[in-house]
């Protein structure tokens, strides 16, 4: 608390005036361009690594950057994540949803351990809200990951995109650069796109190309950001060499 409260004082002396100017610019009519789902990990600071400002994005954070599939609810609007989708995409007419996973994700590391039957037992889930959360909403990611393991990560996975008829192919870490848990994290990030598309109140906008879903992945040890390219069928590092192709793909797929 000492560090946080002293940080508030530094903000008052250094950053408050600049932020107030940004608030004045957007005032009562901000025009956010994306709903950004990411993990609650303290190392994930999305406004910093996307260089976005006040009014640019709605940011939703939880353990493991999960968006529960609509099949888990009698009423689609019973948890934070679908409520955030409605507030962002329906009430505020935001056209882009981004899911951003990351390396060394503690939630994904735990999900990987849940392959052990005793670790994932009902008794242990009753004493661990985090295990219960992952067992309820991330097992579909784990199942896809296990499917990938059977092929030694050589074959791609198939994910549903905006509609049941629209799918995309994904090779996960084909160059074997990342830890096994990070491969799971990338699978989980893509699975959330499929989960988002399960909500009926988004169906028309997804079908008519008024709403677009994207996946990013952040390597916290190198600082590199990866964009899932449906054309390349894998996560592509966003850099000087790739940015033009990525922007061309975004324009082709999402306009």
8 A C-beta contact, residue 197 and residue 121: no
Average pLDDT over residues 135-161: 93
Q: What is the mean pLDDT of the chain?
A: 91
Split at pLDDT 50, 70, 90, the class of 121 is: confident
Helix, strand, or coil (residue 46): helix
Reading the block at residue 235, the tokens are 């996560």
Q: Note the pLDDT of residue 27.
A: 79
Q: Is the dihedral of CA 239, 100, 185, 127 positive or negative?
A: positive
CATH topology of domain 31-254: Beta-carbonic Anhydrase; Chain A (3.40.1050)
8 A C-beta contact, residue 214 and residue 208: no
Look at residues 227, 230, 229, 228 and name the one whose alpha carbon lies nearest to residue 238.
227
Q: Note the pLDDT of residue 255.
A: 62
Residues 6+ apart with CB under 8 A from 236: 226, 227, 228, 229, 242, 245, 246
8 A C-beta contact, residue 170 and residue 190: yes
- Residue pLDDT, tens place only, 30-76: 889 999 999 999 999 999 999 998 899 999 999 999 999 998 776 65
What share of the chain has pLDDT > 90, as a percent? 69
Pick the more confident residue, 13 or 106.
Answer: 106
Average pLDDT over residues 102-120: 90
Region of residue 223 (phi > 0: left; psi between -120 and 50: alpha; otherwise: beta): left
- Residue pLDDT, tens place only, 172-224: 998 899 999 999 999 999 999 999 999 999 999 999 999 999 999 999 999 99
- The yes-or-no verdict on residue 254 having pLDDT over 70 is no
Split at pLDDT 50, 70, 90, the class of 242 is: very high
Write down the domain spans for the chain.
1-28, 31-254
**Picking from 92-96, 120-124, 200-204, which range would have the lowest pLDDT averaged per residue?**
120-124
Split at pLDDT 50, 70, 90, the class of 126 is: confident
Average pLDDT over residues 224-249: 95
Split at pLDDT 50, 70, 90, the class of 133 is: very high
Rounded CA gap, 191 and 67, in Å? 9
- Residue pLDDT, tens place only, 158-170: 999 999 889 999 9
Split at pLDDT 50, 70, 90, the class of 106 is: very high
8 A C-beta contact, residue 86 and residue 77: yes
**Picking from 18-27, 93-102, 243-252, which range would have the lowest pLDDT averaged per residue?**
18-27
Count H helices, E strands: the chain? 11, 8
Residue 96 has phi, psi (to 5 degrees) of: -130, 130
- The yes-or-no verdict on residue 232 having pLDDT over 90 is yes
């Amino acid at each position: 608390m000492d560090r946080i409260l002293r940080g508030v004082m530094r903000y008052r002396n250094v950053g408050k005036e600049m932020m107030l100017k940004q608030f004045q610019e957007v005032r009562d009519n901000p025009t956010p361009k994306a709903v950004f789902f990411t993990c609650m990990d303290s190392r994930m600071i999305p406004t910093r690594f996307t260089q976005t400002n006040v009014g640019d994005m709605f940011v939703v954070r939880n353990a493991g950057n999960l968006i529960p599939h609509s099949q888990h609810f009698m009423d689609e609007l019973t948890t934070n994540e679908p409520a955030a989708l409605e507030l962002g995409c329906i009430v505020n007419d935001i056209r882009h949803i981004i899911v951003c996973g990351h390396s060394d994700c503690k939630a994904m590391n735990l999900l990987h351990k849940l392959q052990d039957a005793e670790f994932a037992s009902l008794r242990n889930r009753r004493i661990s809200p985090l295990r219960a959360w992952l067992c309820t909403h991330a097992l579909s990611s784990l199942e896809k990951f296990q499917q990938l393991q059977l092929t030694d990560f050589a074959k791609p996975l198939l994910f549903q995109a905006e509609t049941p008829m629209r799918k995309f192919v994904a090779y996960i870490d084909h160059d074997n650069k990342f830890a096994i848990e990070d491969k799971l994290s990338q699978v989980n990030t893509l699975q959330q796109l499929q989960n988002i598309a399960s909500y009926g109140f988004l169906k028309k906008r997804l079908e008519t190309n008024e709403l677009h879903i994207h996946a990013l992945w952040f390597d916290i040890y190198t600082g590199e950001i990866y964009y899932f390219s449906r054309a390349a069928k894998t996560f592509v590092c966003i850099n000087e060499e790739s940015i033009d192709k990525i922007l061309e793909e975004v324009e082709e797929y999402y306009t």
